[in-house]
Amino acid sequence: MGNGASHDMSKTIYLDVKGKPQKIVFSSHCSSRDIQELLQSAAGTGRWRTVTLQDGTGALVSISSTMPVNTQSNPYKVIIQERGEDDVIQSIMAQVAEQFNKAFKVTELKEEVSRRLTAVEKRVEVEGLKAVEIEKCKLELTNIKDQILAAKNAYGMDVKKLNLKRDVPKYPKYTLSQETIDYLKKPTFDIWHWESNEMLSLLEHMYHELGLVQEFNMNPIVLKRWLLCVQENYRNNPFHNFRHCFCVSQMMYGMINLCNLQSKMAPLDIVILLTACICHDLDHPGYNNTYQINARTDLAVRYNDISPLENHHCAVAFQVMTQPECNIFSNVDADLFKRIRQGMIMLILATDMARHSEIVDSFKTKVENGFNFSNEDHLNSLKMVLIKCCDISNEVRPMAISEPWVDCLLEEYFMQSDREKSEGLPVAPFMDRDKVTKPTAQIGFIKFVLIPMFEAVAKLFSEIDVVMVNPLRDAQEHYEEMKLKDDQDQPAETSRNQTKKEQLSVKEK
């Protein structure tokens, strides 16, 4: 009985392949394609040739699991048909088209999943769903995941690349005390006492408190996710890291409040200022533009030696926003997004210190000739100076907060100069561990760069003079005293070169 069952489940077909006897055995469940491949194998031909069968009368035999069995003495004749080059090309194109269609279908599914997830998130955040409704949302999300798995099975594609990273960031929602909320608005804010998750929550608070979430219809969950993604795209450099990003953004937030900028600027200007600060050093490699250009790095080649780092920071910022789940401006119209993008690019490119004199001198001229807040050119000039002030504002803070930043900056400088020496590249004196000291690094920078720029802003906003310019003068005095002490402790011939060093020690990004 067992042998009979086995015989019913398979068939044996005898063949004549160019006068040579062959046979194939296949299950009754085999497809025509499977049997065709068996015939091609038995005939010793490749997949690009078609194989047909003829019986003893010359009639063609249908190749399928239901084809009639034959005997060894009456085999089917195998006919191998040559395929032309055009046929092969058409076959390949057909397969490519098939794979494209699969990919397109998965892309459509991804977009549909993205839309549905956004809708669910919006309902949870805005409507404050009840527990039973949230359970329904969870069920809906589970169904969506099942669809993605079904897509993998149906289209034979690896859908790991379609990971949407839609989960809400895990950093907790901190309840900020009124003391912290008030302190966050001050230039004296101590940025060293906060962990990464806390800094994320503080940045999130800024967007809510300034009314930007409501003004630009931001999805609060997308805001969280965007901040988390930004954080992940800052490298762990000694200086140009996420804490520096937070430091610059907090100073901008402080200046917005100190100078009451919301009464003089539109919400569009405010959101550009804050968002540009957050993105201004994204994916900074820890080596400045001078190194990029001298070493002929990919960034320098890509951007033709023109602000390679700043151009890269802009590119990364908007690459993040190309992901719908990380685009805080997804609900604004195309024209408004274009203006936001143009404004952010303008400000981030302005942080290149190679453009310092050009930008500050232009702003000074506008202030001296009568600054006009309704003039777009004047307003753009102010915004560029403001982000520059915030980017290099460490010395505005109390000495206990600012001085550790100098150590971080020198560590990053020395890391670069050591590499430049090993690669035979030029080394800037203010970055050479054998030539620079902490006071010589700071005195010239504060005196020739920081104070003149902040004094120019103070002519427009008198509040700046006491809160920011005076601390800068105190910082200059502190480092001059430190230098005097160092000079007393070192040989006289070394100290003769210090004045020249001060004038050379202008930091670069």
| pLDDT recorded at residue 155 | 41
Indicate if 314 and 365 belong to the same structural domain: yes
Q: How many domains does the chain have?
A: 3
Shared-domain flag, residues 357 and 283: yes
Residue where a domain terminates, one of 38, 66, 83:
83
Q: What does the DSSP assignment read for 306-332? A: SSHHHHHHHHHHHHHHTSGGG-TTTTS
With respect to residue 509, please indicate whether it lies within any of the assigned structural domains: no
H or E segment and range at residue 503:
helix 498-504
Do 263 and 353 have their domain in common? yes
**Cα–Cα distance measured from residue 506 to residue 444, given in angstroms and rounded to the nearest whole number:** 7
Cα separation of 67 and 53, whole Å? 10
Instruction: Say if residue 260 is in the same domain as residue 136.
Output: no
Domain residues for the domain of 48 are 2-83
One-letter identity of residue 203: L
Both structure tokens of 475: 């910082």
* Of 7, 208, 240, 312, catalytic: 240
What residues contact residue 487 under an 8 Å CB cut-off, 6+ apart? 495, 498
Alpha-helical segments (H) within 210-355: 212-215, 220-232, 242-258, 267-279, 289-294, 298-302, 308-321, 334-350
Ranges of residues in the chain with a pLDDT under 50 are: 1-8, 85, 88, 128-132, 134, 151-166, 493, 495-496, 499-509
Other C-beta atoms closer than 10 Å to the C-beta of 410 total 20
Q: Are 245 and 277 in contact (CB under 8 A)?
A: yes
* Torsion angle of C-alpha atoms 393, 398, 400, 401, degrees rounded to 10: -40
Do 28 and 144 belong together in one domain? no
Specify if 346 maps to a domain: yes
| 8-state DSSP, 75 | P
Structural contact between residues 254 and 186, judged by C-beta atoms closer than 8 angstroms: yes
Q: What is the pLDDT of residues 404-462, one digit of tens each?
A: 999 999 999 999 999 999 999 999 999 999 999 999 999 999 999 999 999 999 999 99
Say which DSSP state 241 is in: S
Query: Does 378 participate in catalysis according to the annotation?
Result: no
Q: Same structural domain for residues 115 and 249?
A: no
The percent of residues above 90 in pLDDT, for the chain, comes to: 61
Cβ atoms of residues 414 and 433 within 8 Å: yes
Q: Which residues of 469-480 are buried (b: 16+ CB within 10 A; e: fewer)?
A: bebbeebbebbb
Q: What is the C-alpha to C-alpha distance for residues 218 and 328, in angstroms, rounded to an integer? A: 6
Which pLDDT does position 3 carry in this prediction? Answer: 45
What pTM, to 2 d.p., does this model score?
A: 0.67
Dihedral sign for Cα atoms in the order 209, 215, 219, 222: negative
7: domain CATH number is 3.10.20.90
Are the C-beta atoms of residues 351 and 311 closer than 8 Å to each other?
no
Euclidean distance between CA atoms 21 and 27, whole angstroms? 21
Q: Is residue 277 part of a domain?
A: yes
Residue 95 host element (H or E): helix 85-122
| DSSP annotation of 348 | H
234 lies in the same domain as 255? yes
Q: Would you say residue 167 lies in a domain?
A: no
Q: Which tokens sit at 228?
A: 């988390």
Is there a contact between 188 and 250 (Cβ–Cβ < 8 Å)? no
Boundary-marking domain end, from 68, 83, 98: 83
- CATH number of the domain bearing residue 231: 1.10.1300.10
Measured distance CA(79)–CA(388) in Å, rounded = 79
Let me know whether 120 and 183 are in one domain: no
Q: Is residue 308 part of a domain?
A: yes
The confidence score (pLDDT) of residue 474 equals: 97
pLDDT confidence of residue 129: 45
Which helix (H) or strand (E) is 93 found in, with range? helix 85-122
Do 352 and 308 belong to one domain?
Answer: yes
Last residue of a domain, one of 133, 162, 191: 162
Q: Note the pLDDT of residue 5.
A: 42
What whole-number distance in Å separates Cα of residue 445 and Cα of residue 501?
11
Three-state DSSP at 53 gives: strand
**Do residues 381 and 244 share a domain?**
yes
pLDDT per residue as tens digits for the range 93-137: 555 555 555 555 556 665 666 666 666 665 555 554 444 454 555
Q: Are residues 248 and 135 in the same domain?
A: no
Q: Are residues 226 and 320 in the same domain?
A: yes
Tell the residue number behind the tokens 């970055």, with chain if given: 431
Say if 422 falls within a structural domain: yes
Measured distance CA(469)–CA(353) in Å, rounded: 20
